[in-house]
C-alpha cells in the first residue's frame, strides 16, 4: 500500500511492501515495527537503527514525539490523496468551531457574549484547573453564537463551552 506523509509541507512517499519492507522516497528499507506492550509508544528498528516514539492522534494528523521533538505528520493513502485533489485542495476554514474544555476544571469567567465578533487568539474563557488559571483562546476569527457555560460552572474534559461560527 502506498502512502503520502507530510510534515509541515515536507512530503514523504512511503510504500509498505510487507511487514518487513518499506520504500521511503524510493529507498528500500528493512523495518521491524512494534507497539510497546499495547501503549501509544512504538519501537521501530530500521536497518538496525532503533527508535522509540510516542504517537498521539491529533485532529487531522498524528503527533509523533521522537527524541524530545514533536512532529505533526499527516498521512494519506493514495486513494485519499486523489480524492482531495479532485475536491480541489484543502477544506476552507468554515463551519462552526466548538470550543471544548481541554481538561476538567471550573469556569472562572466567560469573557465574551453571544453574538460578539472575536479575533483569532482572543481570550474566550478562563478555566481553572490544577490551581492554575488557563486562558482558552479562539483559534480563528468569527462570531460567538452559543455559550453553554457560565462562571462558577464545573466542566468535564471535552465538554463544549461555546461555539464560534
Partner 1 sequence: MFTKVLIANRGEIAVRILRACREVGIETVAVYSEADRQALHVRYADEAYLLGPAPSRESYLRGDKIIEIARKCGADAIHPGYGFLAERDDFAEACEEAGIAFIGPKPSSIAAMGDKAVARATVLKAGVPVVPGTEDVGNMTDEQLLAVASKIGFPLLIKATAGGGGKGMREVVNLDEMPVLIQSARREAEAAFGDGNVYLEKLVEGARHIEIQILADAHGNVIHLGERECSLQRRHQKLLEESPSPFMDEELRNKMGAVAVKAAKAVDYINAGTIEFLVDKDKNYYFLEMNTRLQVEHPVTEMVTGIDIVKEQIRIARGRQLSYTQDDIKLNGAAIECRINAEDPYNGFLPSTGRIEHSLLPTGPGVRVDTGVYPGFEITPYYDPMIAKLIVWGETRGQAILRMRRALEEYRIVGVRTNIPFHQTMMNSHRFMAGQYDTRFVEERFSMEQIEEGRSEFPDIAALIATLVTHDQTQRAAQIVRRNERDTSNWKWVGRWERMHR
Which residues are CB-contacts of 140 (< 8 A; sequence separation ≥ 6)?
93, 97, 120, 164
Say whether residue 121 binds partner 1 (CB under 8 A): no
Assess contact for 112 and 85: CB atoms under 8 A.
no
Work out how close the CB of 161 gets to partner 1 at its nearest, in angstroms, rounded to a whole number. Answer: 14
**Long-range contacts of the stretch 118-125 (C-beta < 8 A, 24+):** 118/142, 118/143, 118/144, 118/164, 124/99, 124/161, 124/162, 124/164, 125/99, 125/149, 125/161, 125/162
Say whether residue 39 binds partner 1 (CB under 8 A): yes
Work out how close the CB of 133 gets to partner 1 at its nearest, in angstroms, rounded to a whole number. Answer: 7
The residue (of 35 and 160) whose beta carbon lies closer to partner 1 is 35
# chain residues binding partner 1, by CB under 8 A? 53
Say whether residue 5 binds partner 1 (CB under 8 A): yes
The residue (of 56 and 119) whose beta carbon lies closer to partner 1 is 56
Residue with cell 501509544: 40
Cell output for 43: 519501537
Say whether residue 24 binds partner 1 (CB under 8 A): yes
Stretches 17-25, 90-98, 113-121, 140-148: which one binds partner 1 (CB under 8 A)? Answer: 17-25
Classify the phi-psi angles of 113: left when phi > 0, otherwise alpha if psi is within -120 to 50, otherwise beta: beta
Sign of CA dihedral 16, 21, 27, 33: positive
Say whether residue 22 binds partner 1 (CB under 8 A): yes
- Binding stretches for partner 1 (CB under 8 A): 1, 3, 5-8, 10, 12, 14, 16, 22, 24-25, 29, 31, 33, 35, 37, 39-42, 44, 46, 51, 53-55, 61-71, 73, 75, 77, 102-105, 129-134, 157
Amino acid at each position: 500500500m502506498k502512502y503520502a506523509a507530510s510534515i509541515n509541507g515536507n512530503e514523504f512517499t512511503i510504500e509498505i511492501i510487507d511487514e518487513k519492507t518499506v520504500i521511503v522516497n524510493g529507498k528500500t528499507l528493512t523495518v521491524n515495527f512494534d507497539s510497546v506492550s499495547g501503549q501509544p509508544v512504538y519501537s521501530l528498528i530500521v536497518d538496525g537503527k532503533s527508535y522509540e516514539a510516542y504517537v498521539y492522534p491529533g485532529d487531522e494528523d498524528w503527533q509523533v514525539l521522537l527524541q524530545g521533538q514533536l512532529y505533526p505528520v499527516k498521512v494519506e493513502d493514495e486513494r485519499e490523496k486523489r480524492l482531495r485533489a479532485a475536491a480541489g485542495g484543502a477544506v476552507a476554514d468554515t463551519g462552526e468551531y466548538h470550543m471544548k474544555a481541554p481538561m476538567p476544571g471550573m469556569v472562572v469567567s466567560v469573557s465574551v457574549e453571544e453574538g460578539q465578533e472575536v479575533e483569532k487568539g482572543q481570550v474566550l474563557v478562563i478555566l481553572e484547573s490544577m490551581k492554575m488559571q488557563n486562558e482558552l483562546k479562539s483559534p480563528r476569527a468569527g462570531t460567538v453564537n452559543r455559550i453553554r457555560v457560565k462562571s462558577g460552572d464545573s466542566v468535564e474534559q471535552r465538554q463544549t463551552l461555546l461555539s464560534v461560527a
